[in-house]
């Protein structure tokens, strides 16, 4: 009887621990403070030039559209060199101008589908203009103090999580999920698993 009980317990444990810390996700030694403690924060670390991020974006957008109100989904542009820095400026400038919907996916497409690497301010300004944003609006915001500050904050936050490969998902300041053998969908399944833990 003891043996049977043991088998059942092991099976139940297997269901509970479908995803294993250290294998499927990482647990941070020091949690990172989230912006809103009343919600479960899910941060998507991305870079516009990352092919995996480009492939992952439609799945991420679909996931976001199906979430409950207690989920606080944010994007965090990766910053580790000059090209990622200027692309982070793109993201925050579009956000500040309230044109993220007009810029975000088209910028991905322009980089990957059209092979326009968008590596300097001149071509990026032209791209914004093609999205309907005036040269004046672009010039007023792109190199502004507020955008530089946001980029610096993004770099600091990324360093706080320690694992900085793209794409990564940071869950509630405690967990890091990176692309593994299970692919993009498994990343989101692991996030759902961690969200259920955080909900209790």
Residue in the block written with tokens 């965090």: 76
- Contact partners, residue 110, CB within 8 Å, separation at least 6: 116, 118, 127
- What would the pLDDT profile of 22-72 be if each residue is shown by its tens digit? 999 999 999 999 999 999 999 999 999 999 999 999 999 999 999 999 999
- What would the pLDDT profile of 173-185 be if each residue is shown by its tens digit? 999 999 998 999 9
Backbone angles phi, psi at 6, to 5 degrees: -60, -40
Helix (H), strand (E) at residue 42:
strand 40-46
């Amino acid at each position: 009887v003891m043996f049977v009980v043991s088998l059942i317990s092991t099976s139940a444990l297997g269901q509970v621990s479908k995803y294993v810390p250290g294998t499927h996700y990482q647990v941070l030694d020091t949690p990172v403070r989230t912006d809103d403690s009343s919600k479960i924060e899910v941060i998507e670390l991305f870079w516009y030039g990352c092919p995996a991020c480009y492939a992952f974006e439609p799945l991420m957008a679909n996931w976001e559209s199906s979430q409950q109100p207690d989920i606080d989904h944010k994007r965090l542009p990766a910053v580790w060199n000059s090209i990622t820095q200027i692309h982070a400026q793109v993201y925050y400038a579009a956000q500040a101008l309230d044109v993220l919907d007009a810029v975000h996916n088209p910028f991905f497409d322009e980089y990957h589908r059209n092979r326009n690497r968008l590596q300097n301010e001149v071509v990026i300004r032209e791209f914004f203009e093609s999205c309907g944003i005036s040269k004046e609006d672009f010039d007023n915001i792109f190199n502004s103090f507020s955008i530089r500050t946001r980029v610096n904050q993004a770099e600091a936050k990324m360093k706080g999580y320690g694992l900085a490969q793209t794409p990564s998902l940071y869950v509630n300041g405690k967990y890091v999920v990176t692309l593994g053998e299970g692919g993009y969908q498994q990343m989101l399944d692991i996030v759902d698993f961690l969200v259920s833990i955080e909900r209790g």
